[in-house]
Amino acid sequence: MTSFFGVQIGFVNAADGVPEVSRDVRAKVAIGKLQVQKQAALLYVKGMTCPSCAIGIRVKLSKLDFVDRDRFKRGIEMDCNNQLLTVALKDGTSPNWTRIEQEIDNAGYVAVEWFSMQKDELKSYPFLKVAE
């Protein structure tokens, strides 16, 4: 865990290669997104750097029954600069993280961790394959 501007950050080790975005920058962007987007899931997807190559993420995830396709672009917003993925959730639903991880894998990418804000702190939770 790392402390960043007083925020506890629990990134898993994803800094193989030469990251274009530091963990601190990504955390700051993630906080901003979580403060603005309600009823949405926020993930770090490793390798999601090209919006065209990553279209499959939208193709796969938008078919999940808890995704609100009326928001964003078919329910999915891709921030390829920071490799952050936002999934709009239907009211009253919660994300099925196992399905999300599987579909991102089917699309050719790696779901590393998802984020939430708890008492103004950014918390991160590694996906199963990464945690193993």
Partner 1 sequence: MASSVWFLMASLSADEPIMNMMPRWDDGWGYQFIEEYRHESDLLLGSRALHPGYTEDVHLLHFQSVYTWDKSIRLTAKLPYVLDARREMPDGSGGKRIEHDNGIGDATLALPLKKYFNLDGKSGSWTFKPMLRLPFSGTDDYEIYDNEWGNGLGLGYEYETAKFHVHVSTSGWVYHGNEPFESWSTLDLGYNFNAWGTNAALMWETDFHYEDNGSETLLAGPALYWNINDTAHFRIEWKHDFHDRQGVMDHGNGDVFKFSLGFVF
Backbone angles phi, psi at 102, to 5 degrees: -65, -45
Helices and strands per DSSP (H, E), number in the chain:
4, 7
Among residues 2, 63, 108, 129, the one that binds partner 1 under rule CB under 8 A = 108
Question: Quick check: 56 binds partner 1 (CB under 8 A)?
Answer: yes
Among residues 26 and 66, whose Cβ is nearest to partner 1? 26
Backbone angles phi, psi at 19, to 5 degrees: -65, 135
The amino acid at residue 122 is: L
Give the strand pairing for 40-46 and 7-9: unpaired
Among residues 2, 5, 19, 116, the one that binds partner 1 under rule CB under 8 A = 19
Among residues 57 and 89, whose Cβ is nearest to partner 1? 57
Question: Quick check: 48 binds partner 1 (CB under 8 A)?
Answer: yes
Q: Look up tokens 């672009």; give the residue.
A: 73
Among residues 4, 10, 21, 99, the one that binds partner 1 under rule CB under 8 A = 21
State the CB neighbour count (10 A cutoff) for residue 125.
14
Question: Quick check: 109 binds partner 1 (CB under 8 A)?
Answer: yes
The amino acid at residue 131 is: A
Among residues 7, 29, 59, 117, the one that binds partner 1 under rule CB under 8 A = 59
Q: With CB under 8 A as the contact rule, which of the stretches 2-10, 31-39, 76-84, 119-127 interacts with partner 1?
A: 76-84
Where are the alpha helices (H) located in 37-116, listed in sequence order? 55-61, 97-106
Question: Quick check: 128 binds partner 1 (CB under 8 A)?
Answer: no
Interacting residues toward partner 1 by CB under 8 A = 14-21, 46-60, 73-74, 80-81, 83, 106-110
